[in-house]
Amino acid sequence: MKVEWYTEYGFKDNPLEINPLEASEDPVGFDQEIEDLLYYVESGNVILIEGPKSSGKTLLLGQVIEKFGGKGRIVYIDGNNLNRKYQIDELLTDAQGFFRRMFKKRPKGMILLLDNSVDLPLKTYEMLQYYFDQDYLHSVVFTAADGKKLAMPKSMRDRIGSRTIKTKTLSRDAAVDMVLDRLNQDIISKDMLEKLHIMSDNDMKRFLVNCNKVFDYMVDEEKDDIDLKTMTKVVNEDSEYDELLKDEVSEDAFVDEETGEKLVKVGEHYRSPDDLYCPECGALIDEDDDECPSCGVIFEEADDDEEEKKRK
Amino acid sequence: MAWYEEYDFVSNPFTIKPQEELEDFFGQKDIIDKIEDCYEEGAMIVVRGAYGTGKTTVMKGVIDLFKGERKVAYYNCYTSEKKIDFEDILVRGGNFLSSMFRMKTKDMILILDEAHNMMHKDFENVVDFFEDGYFRMVILVTSEDDFKFPAEINDIVGDQVYKLEMIDEKNAVELVKSRLEGVNLMGDDVIKKILKASKTPREFMMRCDDACRKAVERGSEKVEDKDLK
């Protein structure tokens, strides 16, 4: 059986755990943010955690889970794992979906954590707002790199108000110091760690991945030291750790659940080729409409009438 | 420990959620009274109010007021993507949030939220349904201050337009006092200052919460200017 590098160095858990929700160490440099977040969650709010990739957003959610979890109060949904637009909607709206079951079984006061928030359908926002107002959801936390880019209704934004928590990318010094502090023994020099950080494009998550790769190598090869050339080679080799660096969902992922067809943006709406929509503004129309009920454009009668309406 | 727990509150007294047990309606009770008054005669009315002025609270107040006796249908036009199917509302009570209560269909109250998103066909249709007597009362709610409803709507609504505004000083002081249930954390002066800095009642509540939290955290029993940020 493979021995984990950190076991060799006498650790029970990985001090450089990459998955922020499994980290056993307390987060560094977030004291005020954590205090604010925990208070907002406890007192019933819609909260936005906003910050660049790998700046600790999920780590903060981990604190919420640690404080309020364990009593079945928390629902954690990671947008990265919902790579289809409709999946989350289904999750929330489907009568058989867990929301409905959840509310039948459980009392009011759930806490919903929507990590890496993707654009939710408006109906889902409406439901979230309703559940929040009625206190079925005591608090809702969204995380996003840029909150402004979320297609969130103004009414939801207004409920967030000033309850926005910003996370910043850790500086190189702070990141390197954190790793040295957690290792707490002479495994690698500060200078090498700084170089490793640069190789990681200053990305905290990638930095942790690369640390794990390097220490894995050192333990496997029974090395006490590593030179720059070897380190570069190790970093560029594929490993299971790289799996954890999956990127955020791109718009390409917006496909129709049933047909697998890519959705097209028409006006404000995402439409499947199977939808019947106005080619001008994207509003959904009925088969017998001869003008668009939204923008008023007249549909021309033609043999390929259907085709005309569906034209991209 | 949250600041309000130190004063034996079970939950945040400045919650922004509409509170059933508290009849303060964010200080917007007058509008609910007016709506109740004009129900008997039947009316189409417009409620205007920016985000955070208490629209949800007022609508919830109306639903609570009429529930059990009359049929109230709620329809959010923001999330509707097609023409509104008024016949479907009459039969089933509309989309997601609707609350249905038994009564003769003709006495139904229809709340159209975010009504500025209605399609022009919807306006024509709602006028037809109203004039044919299918809805006793139609309440068009909008957060867009300068949205102009089409003439056929304005003709029926006339001067039945209610605007949710920022609460005044007297109401604000009363609201805080009633929420704090006799806990004397905030003086009138401080309440007025917070009100001045707030654009909406919702923001006002959030700022009160922030200020109390700061004061209690630094061990004070009174909110002072320095707690207002």
User: Are the beta carbons of B52 and B201 closer than 8 angstroms?
Assistant: yes
Taking the C-alpha atoms of residue A25 and residue A182, their distance in angstroms, rounded to an integer, is 8
Alpha-carbon gap: A44 to the closest alpha carbon of chain B (Å): 7
Q: Is the sign of the CA dihedral B181, B182, B186, B189 positive or negative?
A: positive
- Note the pLDDT of residue A238: 83
User: Are the beta carbons of A96 and A69 closer than 8 angstroms?
Assistant: no
Taking the C-alpha atoms of residue B225 and residue B229, their distance in angstroms, rounded to an integer, is 8
Between these two residues, A297 and A1, which has the higher pLDDT value?
A297
The CATH code for residues B29-163 is 3.40.50.300
- Note the pLDDT of residue B71: 76
Mind listing the pLDDT tens digit for each residue in A159-204?
999 999 999 999 999 999 999 999 988 889 999 999 999 999 989 9
Mind listing the pLDDT tens digit for each residue in B54-101?
888 888 888 888 876 657 888 888 776 778 888 877 776 654 444 444
Contacts of A44 in chain B (CB under 8 A): 11-12, 15-17
Interface of A with B in 121-140 (CB under 8 A): 122-123, 125-127, 130, 132-135
Mind listing the pLDDT tens digit for each residue in B107-126?
788 999 989 989 888 999 99
Q: Provide the angle, in degrees to the nearest 10, between the axes of the packed helices A85-93 and A122-133.
A: 30
Beta bridge partners of A127: none
CB-side neighbour CA atoms (13 Å) of B180: 22
Q: Which fold has domain A31-166?
A: Rossmann fold (3.40.50)
For chain B, what's the residue count? 229
Q: Where are the domains of chain B?
A: 3-7+167-228, 29-163
**Alpha carbon separation from B113 to A104, A143, A209, B148, B202 (Å, rounded):** 27, 28, 49, 15, 18
Contacts of B22 in chain A (CB under 8 A): none
Phi-psi region of A54 (alpha: psi -120 to 50; beta: other; left: phi over 0): left
Mind listing the pLDDT tens digit for each residue in A284-309?
788 778 888 777 788 876 545 555 55
- Note the pLDDT of residue A75: 80
User: Are the beta carbons of A178 and A191 closer than 8 angstroms?
Assistant: no
Mind listing the pLDDT tens digit for each residue in B155-209?
999 999 999 888 889 989 999 998 999 899 999 999 999 999 999 989 999 999 9
Contacts of B12 in chain A (CB under 8 A): 43-44
Alpha-carbon gap: A3 to the closest alpha carbon of chain B (Å): 43
Between these two residues, B27 and A69, which has the higher pLDDT value?
A69
What is the H or E stretch that residue A177 is in?
Answer: helix A172-183
Confidence of residue A206 (pLDDT cuts 50, 70, 90): very high
Mind listing the pLDDT tens digit for each residue in B133-151?
888 899 999 998 889 999 9
- Residue A35, chain B, CB below 8 Å: the answer is no
- Note the pLDDT of residue B31: 85
Residue A44 is nearest to which of B12, B81, B120, comparing CB atoms?
B12
- Note the pLDDT of residue A258: 59
Residue B2 is nearest to which of A43, A127, A161, comparing CB atoms?
A43
Cα B194 to the center of its chain, rounded Å: 21
Across the interface, whether the CB atoms of B17 and A123 are under 8 A apart is answered no
Contacts of A132 in chain B (CB under 8 A): 17
